[in-house]
Amino acid sequence: MTILLPHVGDLELGPLLAHYREHGYVRLGRVIAEEHLVRLRSRAEALMLGDVVIPGLFFQADSATGRYEDLRYGQGYVGPSLDYRKLEKLERDDLFRAHLENPLFERIARAVLGDAVSIYRATLFNKSIRGGAPLPWHQDAGSYWGLDRDPELQIWTALDDCTLEAGCLRVVPGSHHGGLATPLGGLIPANIALRDCADARALDVPALAGEVLLIHNHLWHSSGANESGLARRAFTVCYMDAATRCLRRKRAPREFVRVFVRD
């Protein structure tokens, strides 16, 4: 299975990781082969339509109004539709698992996190041709995540062209240096976003299909609605030190999947 383009083996990580550490994100450029993107797009549609069923996947439908505030929780799979906003636990799927364990991602994860690596989540974010709800400013960490330490590294892959019109990623460069906006993490309260001039400092990060970004979990990021009339899908994986533990008590603590394990 060809996943990476031929030049990727020569990619020098040092300058890229330096940019990531300073700015909270970095572009790796187009590194994923088109034939692999075709497989992933086809599998994503098959999962949403129910043509492929994998036990234990998490589904979240998009809001009927197109507003993030109107998202409904706890429904799971509600029938065949290409309007799901999010699919999680994609490490259970063979194609997405192969993608997240490709040699380039392994090099990056080991360079940032060390040799023992697990994943918190492997998620498809989908903005369908119907529009997709905008995602407000947020950070992917905090007590809401229920971990004994905040993860640092997310590797984000554009499966389609994620243009400005399609609701591309927006970031506030360097915002990760300030730590969490609130101890809870997640959505950044509007008064804090206004106080810190998030919109004025924002940078749009459009990406072509096959481009990959590294994103720090504390980086302020958001995305707009999809107004392109085309599907806009991205697959993001949160990697973390395998020593990270789940702190939840109401249910059994989560066990996290180790990756890049050699026999």
**Residue pLDDT, tens place only, 44-82:** 999 999 999 999 999 988 876 666 665 677 777 889 999
Superfamily holding 6-259: q2cbj1_9rhob like domain (2.60.120.620)
Q: Give the amino acid at 41.
A: R
The three-point CA angle 63-88-147 to 5° equals 110
Helix (H, G, I), strand (E, B) or coil at 190: helix
- pLDDT score recorded for residue 190: 95
- pLDDT score recorded for residue 247: 95
Residue environment code for 29-51, b if the CB has 16+ CB neighbours within 10 A, otherwise e = bbbbbeebbebbeebbeebbeee
Q: Is the pLDDT of residue 93 over 70?
A: yes
- pLDDT score recorded for residue 66: 66
The whole-number average pLDDT for the span 74-102 is: 93
- pLDDT score recorded for residue 233: 97
Matching residue, tokens 């590194």: 31
Mean pLDDT of the chain: 94
The whole-number average pLDDT for the span 219-237 is: 96
d(CA 146, CA 155): 21
pTM to 2 decimal places: 0.95
For 222, phi and psi rounded to 5 degrees? -155, 180
Tell me: the pLDDT tens digits for 166-225? 999 999 999 999 999 999 999 999 999 999 999 999 999 999 999 999 999 999 999 999
Domain assignments of the chain as residue spans, ordered by start: 6-259
Percent of the chain at pLDDT > 90 equals: 86
Residue 231: burial class (beta carbons within 10 Å; 0-12, 13-18, 19+): buried
